Amino acid sequence: MKKLMFVCKRNSCRSQMAEGFAKTLGKDKIEVTSSGLEASRVHPVAIQVMDEIGINITDQTSDALLDFDPDNYDAVISLCGCGVNLPQEWVLRDIFEDWELDDPDGKPIETFYRVRDEIKAKVAELIKKMEQ
């Protein structure tokens, strides 16, 4: 089974939503983890907007990228444009993409909804790519 890492600055909003979608849409197809350049918390509004569409991310944790081994992952996705700050070994996976999505933290809930929906579409495409 292929392994996927989502990474963001603080692992609180975008990467957490992406992890939730990938676990749901890629169930039994891929293993998914998310992390941040630094660990923080899972943002309560990210939890809320995912729960509204039936995806529970309350059991997810915010973890630091340094706690993981890049050799254990087939695909790495940066959600915030932080790809330029990642150690080289993370960028050299079979699949590496830098999605550069807006950070919804501190913005109106409509931004969370928009970014959530953008993430869902991108995760669905990514899962298809990983299955090839």
Active site residues: 8, 80
Q: How far apart are CA 110 and CA 117, in angstroms?
A: 11
Q: Which of 28, 46, 18 is nearest to 123 (CA)?
A: 18
Tokens of 116: 């959530």
| DSSP β-bridge partners for residue 5 | 33, 76
